[in-house]
DNA sequence: TCCAGATATGAGCGTTTGCTCGGGTCCGGC
DNA sequence: GCCGGACCCGAGCAAACGCTCATATCTGGA
């Protein structure tokens, strides 16, 4: 768990506790006050840690958020479970495969919903602070692999592009729901709509 | 063109020129230095205008960005031309209608691409500073209207949801392209893919 | 021509933010 | 028990920022 910059890496338990406290304090501040109210000073204060200590592990605000994003991503991967592996190994029909993938994703998105929402809405996009970016890239990779393996089940065309379009589109709808209509993530409605969206788009005929 | 807060509205030409200079200076700063390097002081300096003058028209940085976003939105609507009206009045088959809508949108997205990219990537989402928000809402509204009018041409289901999913998904792909692969906006490839995505999703059968 | 109101100026105050540094305390191996 | 290194502390400085206000200048209509 190396810090991004040349900062110290915690070796003892109390140091790990310190780092943990800072990250969780940042999470609380994000939820309570928003992204631009998050500062290194405030995070240190809320964590009950000296500002000097904080700067031993994090070079700036971005480094803290990056660690937080990384943590959430890890938690989501746990929530996702073995879906990825299962998908990659089995040979489900298109419709079912998409459904499974979306179910896993929905489960992952239910992790720390309020925090995710804040990050989604307020953190800079497209960089290491973008919670969804790594996730989307991972899914595109997966879909692409499946498509190469079973071309017969998909429409002809640019595989890279198709995978990217399908995943990006579906994810955007999920993110939009997470940000503006969280209740939609609960039922199966959205899952079914997006299954249709992606599977129809990718299917031959 | 009322400012959001209780600030002065320009009445004379030189005042309008001042406001214009500030907005365009903000645009330049966004492109050159990024969103968080944009401050009221810097915008005033680059505009060749006193900070006091700036504060007569804009209460804060957000107000400037809001005016800029509004300006770009207007320019895009011009670029979009009469596509909207044409679509609403004609009765094109689903596939063609989607194609026309996407063509108009692509034209609109070619306005101030670098600036749009910066705003897309760095400005807070989901509020009045979100360049895409108003646009997406407008398109959803349009699609919904068409769907209500010609239900026979669409799959059965929750019209609101379907319109929202189709437009949100397609737009996200466009935005992603605008942010990370601008060259994709040039050809017809993306247009064709997204036409497929949306029309297959919405079509009966 | 004159003047009321519109516009412009910029020094500078109060605050926030990022970050350092000199100095302590605690832990674990020997 | 000793000691080196890991860890923690927090006053406080420099820079950046938001914003005001007293003052000066310009413009268009009467």
DSSP, collapsed to helix, strand or coil, labels residue A128 as coil
Q: Residue A135: its pLDDT value, please?
A: 81
pLDDT band at B5 (very low <50, low <70, confident <90, very high): low
pLDDT band at B139 (very low <50, low <70, confident <90, very high): confident
CA distance A86 to A83: 5
| Rounded mean pLDDT, B76-87 | 82
Q: Residue B82: its pLDDT value, please?
A: 80
pLDDT band at B127 (very low <50, low <70, confident <90, very high): confident
Does residue B1 register a pLDDT over 50? no
Q: Residue A2: its pLDDT value, please?
A: 41
CA distance B200 to B202: 6
Does residue B147 register a pLDDT over 60? yes
pLDDT band at B3 (very low <50, low <70, confident <90, very high): very low
Nucleotide nearest B16, CA–C1', reads: C7
- pTM, 2 dp: 0.88
| Rounded mean pLDDT, B23-29 | 98
Give chain B's count of helices (H) and strands (E): 10, 0
Residue from A37, A116, A140, A165 whose CB has the most chain B CBs within 10 Å, to mutate: A165
CA distance A31 to A38: 10
CA distance A87 to A147: 12
Q: Residue A142: its pLDDT value, please?
A: 86
Nucleotide nearest A47, CA–C1', reads: D8
Mark out the alpha helices in B48-188 (DSSP H runs). Answer: 51-57, 61-80, 83-89, 94-109, 113-122, 131-149, 159-180
Q: What is the pLDDT of residues A87-123, one digit of tens each?
A: 877 888 999 999 999 999 999 998 999 999 999 889 9
Q: Which residues from chain A sit within 8 angstroms of residue B196, using beta carbons?
A: 201
By the 8 A CB rule, do A118 and A29 touch? no
Q: Is A39's CB less than 7 Å from nucleic acid strand D?
A: no
Q: Residue B153: its pLDDT value, please?
A: 92
By the 8 A CB rule, do A66 and A129 touch? yes
Q: Residue B169: its pLDDT value, please?
A: 98
Does residue A4 register a pLDDT over 50? no
């Amino acid at each position: 768990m190396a810090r991004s910059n040349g900062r110290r890496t915690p070796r003892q338990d109390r140091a790990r506790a310190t780092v943990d406290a800072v990250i969780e304090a940042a999470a609380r501040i994000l939820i309570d006050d928003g992204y631009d109210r998050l500062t290194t000073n405030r995070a240190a204060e809320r964590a009950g840690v000296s500002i000097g200590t904080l700067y031993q592990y994090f070079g700036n605000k971005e480094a803290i958020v990056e660690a937080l994003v990384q943590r959430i991503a890890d938690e989501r991967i746990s929530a996702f479970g073995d879906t990825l592996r299962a998908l990659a190994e089995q040979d489900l029909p298109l419709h079912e495969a998409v459904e499974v993938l979306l179910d896993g994703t929905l489960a992952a998105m239910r992790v720390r919903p309020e925090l995710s929402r804040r990050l989604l809405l307020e953190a800079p996009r497209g960089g290491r602070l973008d919670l969804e970016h790594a996730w989307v890239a991972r899914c595109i990779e997966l879909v692409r692999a499946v498509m190469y393996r079973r071309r017969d089940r998909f429409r002809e065309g640019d595989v890279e592009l198709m995978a990217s379009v399908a995943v990006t589109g579906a994810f955007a709808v999920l993110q939009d729901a997470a940000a503006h209509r969280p209740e939609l993530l609960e039922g199966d409605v959205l899952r079914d709509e997006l299954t249709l969206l992606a599977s129809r788009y990718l299917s031959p005929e």
